[in-house]
Chains A and B, each alone.
Chain A
Amino acid sequence: MHWSGAVAACLAATALASFAPRSLRAQAAVREPVVWRFVGEAAASVGGTWLEGSRAPTVRSKPGFLFGVGLQRGWTEFVAAGATLRGGIQPLEIRENGDSWSGGTLTEANFVATLSLQSRQRRTNRVSLDLSGGAAVLSGANDILPFHDAASLAPLAEVGIAIRRGATNADASRRDLALFVRYSTLKVQSEYVNAVTTTGWVGRIVAGLRVSR
């Protein structure tokens, strides 16, 4: 990862645009109890270039599935934090010199902690910005790079958005449904004696449905 000046500027601009103080009306104080919720999610994952090079195959994921369960605690009406354990599979495709062939199936388990920042309520739908960090365990597809000799634990970071409908963080008696989409990126490190490999980040788009109660 290259933390160049451009990246720093990008992050600063994003922070300024997204988290600058709003009007006093928007920051009106409310009082709500704190609740725990069970969370279940089902999602499809798309994309993911695991390896590319000028003189090597490109290893990509085909669409796959992820399922997860977790716990979430509503700290305030607008802030929740939780942890989720997920498992999923993604078929892999290898391309080189105009040919393509199967790379088998990648099996993944990951564990993430998530901070969910919810927007002001508008009618019954609310929007939340989800920031997650954790680690993924990748297995299967061990006869292909970068999974051959790869580190077993890959750091994982995610940013996503969800449109929620139903209960607020403070209301434990109602089910909360959310459609979400997130950008998930994990760091892959592999060394192989007969192919020069470099460490890098693999990004995927994950979209699905989350239910909490």
Chain B
Amino acid sequence: MNTNRIRTLRAPFGSRRAVAALVGLIACALVACDTPTATRPTFAYDPTTLSNGMLYRWANGQQLHVWADLADSTRAVNLGQSVRTAIARWNDLPAFAEFELVIVSNPADAQIIIYDRARPMPVRAGSCAFEPRAAVGYTYFCATGGNAERLALASGAPSRASVVIRVDDTLVAGQSRYDAIVAHELGHALGIGAHSSVAGDLMFGLPTTSFPTGRDAQTLQYVLGAPADIIL
């Protein structure tokens, strides 16, 4: 690839000057260039009003395994569809890979267990009272000290589960409302221990949407970065 052109040349500098230039240019770059920054938002609504002022959440950076009892497929609403929808929507929100919800097939591997009232409870309650009463959706965990208790399976076998969600399809009118309830309860399971006062929010007491709103997302972002009183 030679060419025959001839150039008259000059040595531009010595090696010591090359090092000086390198150091100088790097110093200039360090002075001139600011690192990108981020600030987590504050909450849109206080995420601890249902948990006695205690902020609870999962340790960041992990896959959260979810198991749903799908044994009864003859019902008018489909729990599996609601769970998949809710997981997809909540998984869109982490900005720093704080969690990823994943469906698993074995309840012993799950950290979050979801079932419908029509089915037997798949886990045993912990040392705290399990009181769903007539709620259309109910999220339960039991904290001792700074950590949630691991719940045994109904058979008595140990599990990784610390959160159980019960929904009641007899109290909802159709699949979309069922989707909304499951997504809402999953928001509680992720650390939002509160209800929004804005009717359009997913975390409103009687949700009509299965999409987390900007206010829900903002509150979850706050929760994920706040020091936790309870680790699930």
Check if B35 sits within 8 Å of A77, measured CB to CB.
no
Quick one: which of B2, B39, B62 contacts A172, CB cutoff 8 A? B2
Check if A146 sits within 8 Å of B38, measured CB to CB.
yes
Check if B13 sits within 8 Å of A117, measured CB to CB.
yes
Quick one: which of B1, B12, B61, B214 contacts A79, CB cutoff 8 A? B12
Check if A19 sits within 8 Å of B38, measured CB to CB.
no
Interface residues of B in 214-229 (CB under 8 A from A): 214, 217-218, 221, 225, 227
> Please, which residue of chain B has its CB at the minimum distance from the CB of A199?
B36
Tell whether A203 pairs with B18 under 8 Å between CB atoms, given A194-B95, A195-B40: no
Check if A119 sits within 8 Å of B8, measured CB to CB.
no
Rounded to whole angstroms, the CA-CA distance of A49 and B21 in the bound complex is 24
Render A30-41 as a binary contact track against B, CB cut-off 8 A, 1 for contact.
111111110000
Is the interface on chain B under 10, 10 to 19, 20 to 34, or 35 or more residues? 35 or more
Check if B18 sits within 8 Å of A33, measured CB to CB.
no
Check if A77 sits within 8 Å of B97, measured CB to CB.
no
Check if A200 sits within 8 Å of B36, measured CB to CB.
yes
Check if A185 sits within 8 Å of B96, measured CB to CB.
no
Quick one: which of A31, A49, A195 contacts B95, CB cutoff 8 A? A195
B-chain residues with CB within 8 Å of residue A75 when the two chains form the complex: 7
Check if A94 sits within 8 Å of B28, measured CB to CB.
no
Rounded to whole angstroms, the CA-CA distance of A114 and B95 in the bound complex is 35
14 A-B contact pairs sorted by A residue (CB < 8 Å): A13-B24, A14-B25, A22-B14, A33-B3, A34-B3, A51-B35, A52-B36, A59-B96, A94-B61, A101-B60, A129-B22, A189-B36, A190-B36, A194-B217
Binding site for B on A (CB under 8 A): 1-4, 6-7, 10-11, 13-14, 17-19, 22, 26-37, 49-57, 59, 75-79, 94, 96-97, 99-104, 117-120, 122, 126-129, 131, 141, 143-146, 148, 157, 159-161, 172, 183, 185, 188-190, 192-203
Given contacts A10-B32, A14-B24, A50-B36, 13 further A-B contacts (CB under 8 A): A17-B20, A18-B13, A18-B18, A18-B24, A30-B9, A32-B7, A51-B38, A101-B97, A145-B96, A185-B33, A194-B217, A200-B34, A201-B33
